[in-house]
Each structure stands twice: as structure tokens, then as C-alpha cells.
Chains A and B, each alone.
Chain A
Amino acid sequence: GAVVSQHPSRVICKSGTSVKIECRSLDFQATTMFWYRQFPKQSLMLMATSNEGSKATYEQGVEKDKFLINHASLTLSTLTVTSAHPEDSSFYICSAEPNRGREGAFFGQGTRLTVV
């Protein structure tokens, strides 16, 4: 199957700093990538849709100035958590879909962010 790589897998940062998470499609081009957040024992919540060459589309309630998304190429999307607070600590996952196939989206390995 298609491969989506996410980096880093784990990051610890201090309150007030910014953290960048990368999502790469390794063997296909993705004009659209999705960013999710998962709280403990809860579902994957879609944060935003990353669109190559244009602005991201954010879901209701997600602060676009806090979660900056850049999709500069067909294989890379980045999510930057700005001025991180402890409540931003979570598991962030990206996904991309190589084609409208039966398998839907392929997911990255996820990033565990801990803000101290």
C-alpha cells in the first residue's frame, strides 16, 4: 500500500515555543492531506484539510493562527503548533489518499506532542 511518513514521532517542548510536524507521501502525490488530533480514549478529530498550493481548510473550532498548515509541495504538508500550551498535548496524525480507492486514506505514524 501507499506510504505516508510523519516526523517526529514524539516531541516534548516547553510552553510558549512552536513545534513543526511534517507529513510526507513517499510514493504518491497528494494534493490534499488531512490533519487529525486524538485525545486519550477518544476518536480521531479532523482539524484541517491541507491543500497543495492554497490555504488550508480548518474545521469549526480549530484556531488557524495556532495550528499553521503549509502544503508547499505535492508530497509534503507541515503542521506547526505555535505558542504551545500544555492543553495542546495530544496525538497528531496526518493522512493522505493516493486515489479514490477502496482503502481510503493512508495514515502517518502519528506524533505524540507533550508540552511542559
Chain B
Amino acid sequence: DQQVKQNSPSLSVQEGRISILNCDYTNSMFDYFLWYKKYPAEGPTFLISISSIKDKNEDGRFTVFLNKSAKHLSLHIVPSQPGDSAVYFCAARISNFGNEKLTFGTGTRLTIIP
């Protein structure tokens, strides 16, 4: 049962344009969402996060939007740069004091075309 889904396994975007990566979830108990970037043979690195009490969080070129009613979040990267080419994972968790494990989506491979 895949509770966090990224339906687009890959995405190609022209350099300078906007990249939009989508993520859907099924568990309404999730209250914190994160986006990670991963290069081959490396561990994921944190990009941006959002709490369920917000609907938008912005950090430089990265903005995450959360639509709780639709159980959908998206990551916008603008302008896209060649160094943004990587696999992007969204992750979700239920905040409780104890085992705050992350549930990951299947990933989207983003390729920025120079």
C-alpha cells in the first residue's frame, strides 16, 4: 500500500523554466511533508518542508504548496537550473513524540535541459 505517490517517474524541463513536481498521499494523519533531492549513489538531502497548518512555504527558488483537501502537494522550482537534475522524493510523517518515521514517495527524476 503506497501511502505517498509520485505519479510521474520522470520530468524534463528547459533551463530557466519552471519545474513542477507532484505528490499525492492517502493517509490523512500525515501532518508534515518534506521534499528531498537525491543524486545517484548518495543519500537524499533535504530541500524544503511544510507543516499541514500551512498551504505554502517558499525558500529561494523552491516553493512547496499543500492542498490538504485534495491530499496533494507540489514542489515548484523556478528558474530551473542544470544542477537541479536529480531524483526528487516527497516524504510525509505523522508527528508524534517517539517514532517519527518518514514515508517516501516513489520519486521523480527531473532532467533540466540546457
Q: Are B104 and A109 in contact (CB under 8 A)?
A: no
Q: Are B46 and A110 in contact (CB under 8 A)?
A: no
The interface stretch among B11-19, B65-73, B89-97 is: B89-97
Q: Does A93 contact B (CB under 8 A)?
A: yes
Closest residue to A106 on the B side, CB-wise? B46
- In angstroms, how far is the closest chain B Cβ from the Cβ of A29? 16
B residues in contact with A43, CB < 8 Å: 2, 89, 104-107
B residues in contact with A103, CB < 8 Å: 34, 46, 49
6 contacts between A and B (CB under 8 A): A34-B101, A43-B105, A43-B106, A46-B101, A95-B102, A104-B34
Q: Are B9 and A41 in contact (CB under 8 A)?
A: yes
Q: Does A6 contact B (CB under 8 A)?
A: yes
Q: Does A64 contact B (CB under 8 A)?
A: no
* Cα-based distance from A116 to B49 in the complex (angstroms): 40
Q: Are B89 and A44 in contact (CB under 8 A)?
A: yes
Q: Are A44 and B49 in contact (CB under 8 A)?
A: no
1/0 contact string of A16-27 vs chain B (CB within 8 Å)? 000000000000
* Cα-based distance from A34 to B32 in the complex (angstroms): 18
Q: Are B43 and A107 in contact (CB under 8 A)?
A: yes
- In angstroms, how far is the closest chain B Cβ from the Cβ of A7? 12
B residues in contact with A76, CB < 8 Å: none
B residues in contact with A4, CB < 8 Å: 43
- In angstroms, how far is the closest chain B Cβ from the Cβ of A57? 7
Given A1-B46, A44-B89: A105 in contact with B102 (beta carbons within 8 A): yes
Closest residue to B32 on the A side, CB-wise? A104
A residues in contact with B102, CB < 8 Å: 34, 46, 95, 104-105
Q: Are B91 and A107 in contact (CB under 8 A)?
A: no
